Copies of this chain bind each other. A is one copy, B any other.
């Protein structure tokens, strides 16, 4: 792998683990096995490196959301996405960034976070719309609201799991929302 990619990858990991404020150029260089000069040759500084890393994480989130386009009923697809294998205790590489004041305050850095989560919700809304059209869900339900609920359960599940130091609350939260959705499914 090229040095440039190594640097972006290390930044991605560190942003995930420690956030923007908690990630220093020095730590990035050490993890990437690159020197100061190398890093500042490829990137103008920490911010530009973070931008590349965030965009890459956002792309991965959307790539995983492609699973929602698989065959099956709407509820099967939502279930598969929620039950997807995840590193629950590490949290969401994208959602995590919303707790970083320097990222939220910077329009350029926040944009990929905003857009990827918005698109995920939009895709979920489409799937739920299909399910509603197929009679899986009552026509009165607001699918956009339900999509927000589903994504929020994921993001909040991570929070509860990290607080507890165990993945169980995440699994409970997912089971709970799926039970509510399934109760309408016939």
Chain A residues within 8 Å of B, Cβ to Cβ: 17-19, 21-22, 91, 95-96, 98-101, 104, 110, 113-114, 117-118, 121, 138, 141-142, 144-160, 162-165, 169-170, 172-177, 179-181, 183-184
Contact = CB atoms under 8 A, between A and B. Distances in A.
A71 to B, nearest CB: 25
Main secondary structure of the interface of A (DSSP, over half): helix
A110 B89 CA distance: 14
Given A21-B19, A21-B22, A159-B155, A177 B149 contact: yes
Indicate how many identical chains form the complex.
2
27 contacts: A17-B101, A19-B21, A19-B99, A19-B100, A91-B99, A95-B163, A98-B158, A98-B162, A114-B164, A118-B163, A141-B183, A142-B175, A144-B172, A145-B173, A146-B176, A146-B179, A148-B160, A148-B172, A149-B174, A149-B180, A152-B152, A152-B153, A152-B159, A152-B170, A152-B173, A155-B159, A155-B160
